[in-house]
Structure 1
Amino acid sequence: MKDNAQNFTVGLQNSLIHYWNVFLQSLPRVVLALLILVASFYIATYLANLIRKKFDSKDHDPLFVNFLSKTSKVALIIVGIILAMQAMGLSGIAQGLLAGAGLSAFIFGFAFKDIAENFLGGLILAFNRPFSLDDTIQIRDFTGHVKALNFRTTHIKTFDEKDVFLPNSIVVKEPLINFTRDGQIRLDFVVGIAYEDDITQAISLIIKTISPTATIIKGKEPFTVVEELATSTVNLRTYFWADTFDYKKGVLEIKSDIIQLVKEVLVNEGFSLPSDIQEIKWYDPKKPFPIDIMNTKDDFFPNR
């Protein structure tokens, strides 16, 4: 039993000495791998900042710059990890990872289909650039300002202060309305005047009223047309342009101000703005028309 204990002690010592020698032999490789990892991280960070500074100007979209810098940083870090594995003597594992990249992409493509699809959608949006930072866009029922383009989602801040994160694949596939790209939008509203009113005079008055307020774009002056001869009114539709760079002030508030001005001017000039007339038809004249008068005599003549 004493010999067994002694053999165990000797074997343990030999094992520790062997692993210590292996560690000393591999220590330079481990240090080199750590240096490669640290260097790749700092190089990736430096390159990302360099790309940001190089393209961060009025001529380049901040969304594109942010996405490009993030993608470059992640790619360089992955390359650094592969080089560190090769430096540690794990070249077989590194080569196996590279060789199996196609198979891995095929296998994980099903498990992470949405993630890959959204990432590719982000790349398409970054290079195609259908919108810029702080642009006002509409996707489905969401309208707001673009705040960020991430690897997976597009961040939109709606007008009611909601943060909406739409998957990039949806942004790519769905129809997208950009209200800010050209900086202008055509708006319209309808006002109804009485049949007895002068249509030409009403149109001239409306144009005169809205011209100082509406955004005047070269070749795109405000105009008004007769849209419909309705039941009780002649409907006039007015078209004008507005500045969309500040959507709230340039579109919503201006439209409200113009409608209010047109209403006040038409009323002050004696134009009637009649409400809809409701026609009641009684198809059986032989039967009495059922009318109940709720008011009493004292209600019509309170002083009597």
Structure 2
Amino acid sequence: MLSDLQRVLNTYWQQFLYISPKLLIAFIVLVLAIFVANHLSSLLGSKLRAKSHDPLMAEFLTRFSKWALILAGLVLAMEVVGLYALVGGLVAGAGLSAFIVGFALKDIAENFLAGVVLAFNRPFRIHDTVQIKDLVGKVEDLSLRVTLIKTFDGKHIFLPNAMVLREPLINFTRDGYIRQDFLVTVDLGEQGDSQQATALLLNYLKANKGVEVREPHTPYVILEKASANTADLRAYFWTFSEDYRRGTLELKSELMRDVRARLSDQGYAVQNVAQ
């Protein structure tokens, strides 16, 4: 038994000595491929960022080129070792079917392909504020597998690209402007004049520097409901949405907070201010 074991180990050792030069060359090829991939992708990335107006696409193409070069180096290293059949199988199975091999690779392939679609379709840009399901935040990054969103409370959420592509996506900042509204319930007093209260509320909106007053994004006020002495006035206003949290949410809060005092100065009692 010992002699058989010795003979088997000796055979393995001889085979290792025979293939070790090829293993060394394959290792060098793989290291060179990684080195070249890092430098070429970095060079490509700098060129794309300098000439492209879309940093999201530039970053995605940079990462894609890096991993494509590394994969090419890996295939070449396998050829050097002599794994011709395995390399041939990989080449023959290139395409969509090569990615979806078994359940474990299905999710990887799905997220990768979704990332490609998102990069070229571009439903958002870097720093756009988006909502996916109940998640709201700024887009920080798009990789080959996940989309990174940073919420307003500082949380980093890594969403699979397939989920981002599959779910309805609301982009709050793509147009550059966004409309907000709030409801003001005004006690009209004995005169019951809702038109004057409407004009006062509209002038208050126009006087705020954060409210857009140029066509077609002009503010307006409608009478939503009226009774004998009260009126529900719905105020609509547009604002620049690039900084969604500061330019929209904080502005709306400011308007809702100060409208009571402004109308009270003109003799109107504000009963309620709501969304």
TM over 0.5, yes or no?
yes
Which protein shows a greater Rg?
1
Of 211, 225, 228, 1:228 maps to 225
Of 258, 263, 267, 2:264 maps to 267
Q: Name the aligned partner's letter for residue 148 of structure 1.
A: D
Residues 165-224 of structure 1 show CA distances to partners (whole Å, capped at 9, x for unaligned) of: 222111111111111112210111111123543212111111211212112333321111
Alpha-carbon distance between aligned partners in 2 of 1:116 and 1:103, rounded to the nearest angstrom: 8
Contact 1:44 1:76 in 2 (8 A): yes
Alpha-carbon distance between aligned partners in 2 of 1:103 and 1:224, rounded to the nearest angstrom: 54
**SS of equivalent to 2:269:** coil
1:201 aligns to what?
Answer: 196
User: Which of structures 1 and 2 has the larger relative contact order (alpha carbons within 8 angstroms, sep 6+)?
Assistant: 2
Task: Tell me whether 110-119 or 177-186 shows the greater mean CA deviation.
Answer: 110-119
More strand by share: 2
Shift in CA distance, 253/21, structure 1 to aligned 2, threshold 3 Å: closer
* Structure 2 residue 127 is the aligned partner of structure 1 residue 127: no
Matches within 5 A, 1:8-157: 22=18, 27=21, 29-57=22-50, 59-99=52-92, 105=98, 108-157=101-150
Alpha-carbon distance between aligned partners in 1 of 2:182 and 2:106, rounded to the nearest angstrom: 46
Alpha-carbon distance between aligned partners in 2 of 1:89 and 1:274, rounded to the nearest angstrom: 83
- Once the two structures are TM-superposed, the CA of residue 248 in structure 1 deviates from its matched residue by 1.8
Q: What is the percent sequence identity of the aligned residues?
A: 44
Alpha-carbon distance between aligned partners in 1 of 2:261 and 2:71, rounded to the nearest angstrom: 67
Alpha-carbon distance between aligned partners in 1 of 2:16 and 2:195, rounded to the nearest angstrom: 101
Flag structure 1 segments of 5+ consecutive residues without an equivalent: 276-304
Alpha-carbon distance between aligned partners in 1 of 2:53 and 2:119, rounded to the nearest angstrom: 11
Alpha-carbon distance between aligned partners in 2 of 1:21 and 1:111, rounded to the nearest angstrom: 36
Contact 2:149 2:158 in 1 (8 A): yes
Of 220, 226, 245, 1:248 maps to 245
**SS of equivalent to 1:220:** coil
- Once the two structures are TM-superposed, the CA of residue 255 in structure 1 deviates from its matched residue by 1.0
- Once the two structures are TM-superposed, the CA of residue 16 in structure 1 deviates from its matched residue by 10
- Once the two structures are TM-superposed, the CA of residue 88 in structure 1 deviates from its matched residue by 3.1
